[in-house]
Structure 1
Amino acid sequence: MSELDPDTDPDRGSETNAHPEDEGEGEHERETESDGHSDADGGRSPVDEAADGETAPTADDGDATGTGDVDAGVSPVEGDRERTVWLRADDAVGGWERRKRRITAGLEAGVDWVLVDRRDVERVRELGAVNVAAFDGGDVHVMEAEAEDPGGADPDLAVAGKGSEGDGTVDLPPELAGSADLAALRRGEVGGAYVRMLGEEYQTFAREAAHDADVTLVVGEDWTVIPTENLIADVGDRTGLVAGVTSAEEAAGSADRVCVDTGTLMNDDEGMLVGSMSRGLLFVHAETADSPYVDPRPFRVNAGAVHAYVRTPGGETRYLAELESGDEVLVADTDGETRTAVVGRVKIERRPMFRVAVDVDAAVEGEDENDRVETLVQNAETIKVAADEGRTAVTDLEPGDRVRLLYEPTGRHFGTAVEERIVEK
């Protein structure tokens, strides 16, 4: 998700309350780290200066600073987040010559994406090599001089929301039933969503859009009413879970077991990703189910032995033994949707353990041969995994049962994925 500051005038670099269709507006969108904090400082951006005819310095590492048209945010992409710079240059900026100057300045400053109306896609590509996103069906402010040349090139990303529900042109339907923008996303007709935060209902709309969109562009109106962090926490990442076959499970003696107690109440389909091998992390349910042995603890995941890895935000891992109060872990559901949770407490106790081994089919992951990953979990019926039959206690697993796990055939150093062959067994 990209979160955008209130709209700004590209000539003055000062904040205005104009709508996107107002003359002189343009946004410059930047994706940042998962904490949602902006890197924008005071002053004007390199793109602003170049748009006024001055020389634009090259952006360092694809970044840009300045209030003006610089807007910061995050995007829920799988694995590590990639910092990118977006430049808005649709007809809200003005006529083509003005848009052209703005795009040229952006290319010189090193932007990664240019957001335009569909008729300008080919024009942008003629100016330079850059990813081009275009509003889908959003050419509602076509100027008379340009109406004869609508263009027809396909963008790298089609974006819904301009001239429709996303920017408030069309009212949001009650409970979002029958939303045209959401329907276009779910049908795959567009891959991006543009949402102006015109009220609390637009936070819900943005969250729903982000579940189906590759990129969600959010224009903030009043972040004291709708905190940025709420959207980031609601949307989170998406993690691809695959099915593996349980080939064996057996008692493995006693070990130091870790319970991760979070400051978050988890749902029945949520848990954490843990495993002895960093390339294969088993989905372990939170303790939300009723049990004759213990009351539910929906804030807790009985995660496994101290040596095991647990998935954390940003596509990284930590050892369970390293976790402490205040750390962040990744909470996932059985569909692969994830969010961040803060650790409130870690309990380490000596407990009897099970060794669960899972074979990952090479055909599933495109590898040359099957791979086996495993982990140690407590030998107790309250520890449950996601099997084809639903939530299943590890004590009830049978050879051949299919369970859910995150499989990434890559090595890791200090929790970060590396391009290196590492043998774990």
Structure 2
Amino acid sequence: MSWHGRELIIQLPKEHSESIAVLKACKENKVNGVIVNQHSLKLVKDSGITAYSESDLADVHIVNDVQGVKTAKAAGQTSVMVLQIESKADIEEAVAAARAGAIALIVDTSDWRIIPLENLIAELRGTGTKIYTKISTVKEIPTMFGVLERGVDGVVLAARVPAEIKRAKDKLVSLASLDIVIAKVEDVREVGMGDRACVDTGSILRLGEGMLVGSAANFLFLVHNESVGSEFTSPRPFRVNAGGIHSYILLPNGRTKYLSELECGSPILIANWKGQTDTAVVGRIKIERRPLKLVKARSGKQSGAVLVQDAETIRFVTKSGHPLAVTQLKKGDEIMVRAGKGAARHFGIEVDEFILEK
């Protein structure tokens, strides 16, 4: 399974007993492939998962140099090349492998992690050859898929326990696209004073990007960042004035939190009007008492509401990706929301029980 173009390949442990448990988790979590030694090759092939191995019987033949790519191609075999990126010469070898017919490169880097991958991604752009990079922990996944904004095509994780595979899959799911839909505004009105949360991140957000917040977990509004300045305010592209402290906010792992629960270091989900997502980290939460405005909207049979500060710098996102200030928002306007299934939430986790939020 590919999570919107992002692939997960697992390297099996050498110990047979460990590899059986890990392979079972690979199948349950629908990983893209498994790197395996010759002794466990039949086990992997019987499971139906794509087997990567140095054996000629593998689904994908692993080679270590350009000549190996050429030999595999002559024999009608699909091949990937494994290489260490430490110098410009290694980049040149990677390009040669791509031109020779390697469908992918499995790369490892030295202490310099990002710059070599940036160079490799730039060099291989347009060749059709995929780039898989080795990682040591699940925490590296968002970084690897964010290199040069395009990111690598997949990651290779040497997993020793099944739980690592589930964590890796959950991380990939969190980076996948969301269903962001158009909703029609039904009501906009002042509701008095209240406490709102301003979320300052450690990232520069772009036009059309924001956070998903709302009073109901199954109907979240895309609230735009403050990258657009005005005559009276400077741009603050790291900030989203997200709304009332009671509001749900969607996190990278698919769970929700109340805005009041966020703090410095909390991971946060960033989304745009197309549903493309990214992650950021909270640098600061500012909770202050401000005049609030109620916004209600509907998409199909679903409707929801959100409380936001009544100010020109608080903006929603239109279907063209442009910001629309709440001070200009009116009944009939169209804005972007995430309207999901009506699942209940228990400590931010979806649970299968009836709940009505309004």
Query: Among 158, 183, 201, which residue is 1:262 paired with?
Result: 201
Q: Hey, what does 1:59 align to over in structure 2? A: 21
Give the letter for the 2:143 counterpart. Answer: N
Structure 2 residue 34 is matched with structure 1 residue 87: yes
2:72·2:79 contact (CA, 8 Å) conserved in 1?
Answer: no
Any conservation in 1 of the 2:73–2:79 contact (CA below 8 Å)?
A: no
Please tell me whether residue 403 in structure 1 is matched to residue 335 in structure 2: yes
Report the Cα offset of residue 143 of structure 1.
8.4
Report the Cα distance in structure 2 between the residues aligned to 1:277 and 1:160, rounded to whole angstroms: 49
How high is the TM-score relative to the length of structure 1? 0.58
Q: Answer yes or no: is the 8 Å Cα contact 2:212–2:222 preserved in 1.
A: yes
Structure 2 matches for 1:42-81, cutoff 5 A? Answer: 45=13, 48-50=14-16, 58-59=20-21, 62=24
Opposite residue 341 of structure 1, the aligned amino acid is: A
Deviation of 1:230 after TM superposition, in Å, equals 3.1
Give 5+ residue unaligned stretches, structure 2.
1-5, 63-67, 83-90, 152-174
Q: 2:107 aligns with which of 184, 196, 218?
A: 196
State the Cα distance separating 1:219 from its structure 2 match.
4.0
Query: Structure 1 residue 168 and structure 2 residue 94: aligned?
Result: yes
Quick one: which of 385, 390, 393 aligns to 2:325? 393
Shift of 1:86: 3.6
User: Are 1:105 and 2:43 an aligned pair?
Assistant: yes
Conserved in 1, the CA contact under 8 Å of 2:273 and 2:318?
no
Aligned residue for 1:373?
Answer: 304
Count of matched residue pairs = 298
Q: CA deviation at 1:373?
A: 1.3
Aligned match of 1:114 in 50, 61, 76?
50
Distance 2:332 2:60 in 1: 46
- 8 Å contact 1:284–1:386 — kept in the other structure? yes
Alignment-derived partner of residue 288 in structure 2: 349
| Counterpart for residue 132 of structure 2 | 217
Residues 142/320 of structure 1: CA separation in 2 closer, same or farther (3 Å cut): same
- 1:337 partnered with 2:276: yes
Q: Is the 8 A contact 2:273 2:336 kept in 1?
A: yes
Cα separation, 2, equivalents of 1:289 and 1:142: 54
Is 1:317 the counterpart of 2:228? The answer is no
Deviations 1:142-195 (A, max 9, x none): 388xx5xx69xxxxxxx99769x998254889xxxxxx99xxxxxxxxxx9655
- Take 1:296 and 1:60, find their aligned partners in 2: how far apart are those partners? 48
Kindly, what percent of the aligned residue pairs are identical? Answer: 29
Q: Which has the higher contact order (CA 8 A, sep 6+)?
A: 2
Q: Secondary structure at the match of 1:321?
A: helix
Once the two structures are TM-superposed, the CA of residue 312 in structure 1 deviates from its matched residue by: 1.1
Q: Which has the higher strand share?
A: 2
CA shift for structure 1 position 216 = 6.8
2:71 aligned partner: 141
Return 5+ residue gaps in structure 1 as ranges.
Answer: 4-27, 31-43, 65-81, 125-131, 152-158, 174-179, 182-191, 362-369
Give SS of 1:106's match: helix
Distance, in Å, in 2 between the alignment partners of 1:376 and 1:282 is 10
The alignment's TM-score, normalised by the length of structure 2, stands at: 0.67
